[in-house]
Homo-oligomer: A and B are copies of this chain.
Amino acid sequence: MGAGEFAAIGRIQELLTARLGVPPPGETWVGDDAAVVQTPGGPLLLAADLVVAGVHADLGLEGLDDLGWKALAVNVSDIAAMGGVPGHALVTVAGPPETDLGLLYSGLVEAARRWRCPIVGGDLSNGPVVTVSVAVTGSLPRGRLPVLRSGAREGDLLFVTGPLGAAAAGLRALRGGSGDLESRALASRHRRPEARVAEGLAAAEGGARAMIDISDGLAADLGHLARASGVGVDLDHVPVAEGATEAEALTGGEDYELLFTSPDAGAVDRSFRMAGLAGPACIGRCTGRAGQLRLGGQPLEAGGWEHEWRWAGD
């Protein structure tokens, strides 16, 4: 009777394909981190995400400026996960009349400056809760193809750009109200996620064949990548951020590190080194057992958090 978010997205994809047709060659529509469309000047990346107060952010624990930052950063992260560079942002905001728009936009603008992605338009409306929707354009380095979720092959190595679980541990620290130094550092990983644009470029340069950002949690996003590519995954280990638990690293989500596959560890290492970046962690490899996720030989639950949707007629 019910349907989760991923099922609902699947139904919407079916409806769109049935009524709007399949994308022309070289384009990717719904289903990846960002869409890829062709323009006279080359491929254009398009991503949109929304952040709802009380759902994605507890305004008792973080500020409207943090919510603004997050709304823009998560879209930049989607562009990064294609191997792209952000271009411009559009921002729509719904909220009650007393919403502190100045505070909200100060966070949006900080993120826009951080990733050189100016806010060029948008809309305002009254509504019962603060809801911020951001759309971001992106481009690829000249001649480069986008890195989709679907390109992983059996034998590819799996990399992640940083240890995981800090955002979930940060939320736990905020809820616990502890003010010590480690807690404050973790909290800022929850409140102000970083989008890994430089890492996404280095991964693409290093021959990444599939990539996704870790927004839903490592296990869930591994599942998305494996399903899209028709591979399985054997993880050796999971790099856990200091102060986080392994469960937070596996299912916490909102870390916005990038997960990618490549057949060539040497090329990956070289391209990160040449970009002045810390090398990504190799955490396992892709197998031919489609859809099977394992950690240390044990089955891994894809899990991860979903919004609830009931689909009429189910």
* A interface residues (Cβ-Cβ under 8 A, vs B): 2, 5, 8-9, 11-12, 15-16, 19-21, 23, 27, 29-30, 34-35, 37, 39-42, 44, 46-52, 55-56, 87-88, 90-92, 94, 97-103, 105-106, 109, 112-113, 118-129, 131, 133, 135, 137, 139, 307-313
Residues on B with C-beta less than 8 A from A19 are 109, 112-113
Given known contacts A16-B109, A47-B90, A131-B94, A101 and B307 CB-to-CB distance under 8 angstroms:
no
Taking the full assembly, how many copies of this chain does it contain?
2
- Chain B residue with Cβ nearest A129: B128
| Inter-chain contact B34/A121, CB cutoff 8 Å | yes
Instruction: Check A8–B124 contact: CB distance below 8 A.
Output: yes
Q: Contact: B16 with A127, CB < 8 Å?
A: no
Q: Indicate if the CB atoms of B39 and A39 lie closer than 8 Å.
A: yes
How far apart sit A238 and B20, CA to CA, in the bound complex (Å)?
39
Distance, CA A126 to CA B309, complexed state (A): 8
What B residues does A30 contact at CB under 8 A? 119-122
- Note all chain B residues with C-beta closer than 8 A to A98: 310
A146 to B19, CA, bound (A): 31
* 24 A–B pairs (Cβ distance < 8 Å), ordered by A: A8-B124, A15-B102, A15-B106, A23-B118, A27-B120, A29-B121, A35-B88, A35-B90, A35-B121, A40-B41, A44-B137, A46-B121, A46-B137, A48-B90, A48-B92, A50-B92, A51-B125, A52-B127, A97-B308, A101-B309, A101-B311, A102-B313, A128-B129, A137-B137
